[in-house]
A and B are shown apart, each in its own frame.
Chain A
Amino acid sequence: MIPFRRPLSALLLALVASAALADASLLNASYDVARDVFKDYNPLFQKYWKQKTGENLELKQSHGGSSKQVRAVADGLEADVVTMNQANDIEFLAEKGLVAKDWAKKFPNNASPYTSAMLFIVRKGNPKALKDWGDLAAPGIQVIVPHPKNTGNGRNTYLSAWAWALKQPGGNDKTAQAFVGKLLKNAPLFAAGGRDATTTFMQRQMGDVLVTFESEAELIAREFGKGGFEVIYPSLTLQTEFPVAIVDKVVDKKGTRHQAQAYLDYLWSKEGQENAAQNYLRPRDAALLKKYGEQFPAVKTFTVDEVFGGASKAFATHFKDGGSFDQIYVQK
């Protein structure tokens, strides 16, 4: 009578079996767009770990909006490691005591094994001749972005535009806020997430330009075909980081610190870095970056630390209630 009895019992069996077979298991709480990266990375690490220690490690993934994920971890989701796309999310966990306060120093490169950059996706032939951030705020241009306050992707766009405006002659916080306001007014909607923004631009054919991560561009090409769009690199853009951290509270309770540390360390290994490059994320390894030079053209970037004094500060100034985003909208 119970439908799907076979998959149900198979599921039960698999759960029991996997618990029996695996000597340990790690849960990686990650952000939305990272699915592909870890789908490829996890088998690589499992193989390496089995060779090194003979242990069968079970790797589980949880994906969701970056902030939603760390909230879940703070509320009890037992993730051994977190791999996010915003430093302030990990700061939040540090505040709550789940992650060490000096998490950024536990791994090289500010604990970010790879980076990406924000760039523009435009229609084939770039009919509106959009070259740089300034063009996006011009009248009549429609910009597609995910929600600039609620999504990591959107926030990176916001900060990139702000930083660019700061660097313009006579640029200061006031002009930057005015500029970003104009750019946001050119947005006919705020998409529910990064993928939703892409769907809106590519499938629904809305807007003249989509602002997104460099890593998304190739995925868009794979899904929609290379011929439908062009990639434009602005003159200056945010170098987005993908910080990782061990959730001390969980690994100490589960006794998986050893595995968790190795899991994250391996991201900097040759295999880990190559995996990143193949997923269109800029590896830290300079030689690999050069090897994949074709898909990673040179672009002038800045980091959040350089321009905004750190991710937490940027978040507090711009995206908390009453911050610059709210001010733009309240002033109309």
Chain B
Amino acid sequence: MATKTHRVLPGFGLALGYTLVYLSLLILLPLGGMVLKASELGFGQIMDIALSERSLAAFRVTFGASLLAATVNAFFGLVVAWILVRYPFPGKRFVDALVDLPFALPTAVAGITLSTLYAGNGWLGSYLEPLGIKIAYTPSGIVVALIFITLPFVVRTLQPVIEDIESDVEEAAASLGASRWQTFSRVIFPAIAPALLTGFAMAFSRAVGEYGSVIFIAGNLPLISEITPLLIISKLEQYDVLGATALAVVMLAISFLLLLGINFLQWWAANRYKNEEPLEAAASRAVGGQP
């Protein structure tokens, strides 16, 4: 395009300008400052801190538990979003509202409540422990806390997308002889997959950084149930602000890369779906003349 882009709608400069200034002040400046501070240590030292045995163990625990929690939430979140959109049942509005509870409840409260529930003499723990399932003070406890904290992300991302699915496409598929499962896996699921991925990504990144709810139920034993945010706090406790900052920067870098990667994956998946129309949809278009 050789000519200057002419924008019909006004306000682009103002809106984008304000957005960028806000972002710079609130995000780029502080985070940049942190990276700068960490760089006082030098790359080699940062790597030493990040690759020490305790740090590595903490990364394993943190990222492992977060991955598990996000996956559990991806599966159950899909189920919950589905039943909230599609099935009528008594008390649905209340249940729907409840899904946002983890957002609003302070993490410390969540942690204390969950550890009370899952401890050996808690409402749930007293059933689970005789069965040999120990939740409180083990890595499993971390996963449980993270499931609670990140539950809304998948559900809320999927709900509007499931609502948006046009019933004619499903009907067309059915009329062409597809079984319900085929319809779901070939028509519906690809449509909601990008949103599912986004929800999973958000749940995962939130889980990785979680602190307040986890420390009450985790056990915090080094190399076993110690999470990276706790290590950061531990460094702060020793007045080692540089070390804490270094660890924080490494964690941030990993999370940011993962986010970027998943955003890219989602863009790729959305495009892929656009080009490969499922047969049923294509057929229904041909038959019904719909856009």
Contacts and interface: CB of A to CB of B under 8 A. Distances in A.
Interface of A: 65, 67-68, 71, 92, 147, 149-150, 187-192, 196, 200, 203-206, 319-321, 326, 329-330, 332
24 contacts: A67-B238, A71-B236, A92-B239, A147-B220, A189-B220, A189-B221, A192-B216, A192-B220, A196-B216, A203-B116, A204-B119, A204-B121, A204-B136, A205-B120, A206-B119, A206-B120, A206-B137, A320-B240, A321-B235, A321-B238, A321-B243, A329-B54, A330-B54, A332-B223
A68 B222 CA distance: 21
Contacts of A319: 238
Given A204-B136, A206-B120, A330-B53, A67 B221 contact: no
A332 B53 CA distance: 11
B234 interface: yes
A117 to B, nearest CB: 23
Contacts of B164: none
Contacts of A192: 215-216, 220
Q: Is the interface of A mostly helix, strand, loop or mixed?
A: loop
Contacts of B218: 189
A101 B221 CA distance: 36
Given A67-B238, A189-B220, 10 more contacts: A67-B236, A190-B219, A191-B220, A192-B215, A196-B216, A204-B115, A204-B119, A205-B120, A321-B235, A329-B223
A159 to B, nearest CB: 16
Given A147-B220, A329-B223, A68 B54 contact: no
B233 interface: yes
Given A67-B237, A150-B237, A321-B238, A188 B219 contact: yes
B121 A149 contact: no
A189 B120 contact: no
Q: Which 8 A-B pairs have the closest CB atoms?
A: A189-B219, A204-B119, A189-B137, A190-B220, A329-B222, A67-B237, A192-B215, A150-B237
Contact of B234 (A92, A150, A196, A200): A150
Interface residues of B, number: 28
Nearest to B223: A329
Interface in B107-147: 115-116, 119-122, 136-137
A204 B114 CA distance: 12
Interface in B179-226: 215-216, 218-223, 225
A3 to B, nearest CB: 15
Contacts of B137: 188-189, 206
Interface string B218-261: 11111101000000011111111001000000000000000000
A147 B235 CA distance: 13
Contacts of B222: 329
A204 B120 contact: yes
B238 A320 contact: yes
A187 B54 contact: no
A19 to B, nearest CB: 30
B110 to A, nearest CB: 14
Nearest to A205: B121
Given A196-B216, A204-B136, A330-B53, A149 B237 contact: yes
Given A189-B137, A206-B119, A65 B220 contact: no
A258 B115 CA distance: 47
Contacts of A190: 219-221
A329 B237 CA distance: 18
Contact of A321 (B119, B122, B240): B240
Nearest to B212: A192
A150 B54 contact: no
A247 to B, nearest CB: 16
Contacts of A92: 239
A206 B118 CA distance: 12
A24 to B, nearest CB: 31
B54 to A, nearest CB: 7
Nearest to B136: A204
Given A92-B239, A204-B120, A205-B121, A150 B233 contact: yes
A65 B136 contact: no
A320 B243 CA distance: 12
A94 B55 CA distance: 30
Nearest to B239: A92
A320 B216 CA distance: 24
A321 B240 CA distance: 9
Contacts of B233: 150
A154 B220 CA distance: 13
A68 B115 CA distance: 24
B99 to A, nearest CB: 24
B221 A187 contact: yes
A12 to B, nearest CB: 24
Contacts of A150: 233-234, 237
Given A192-B216, A196-B216, A329-B223, A71 B234 contact: no
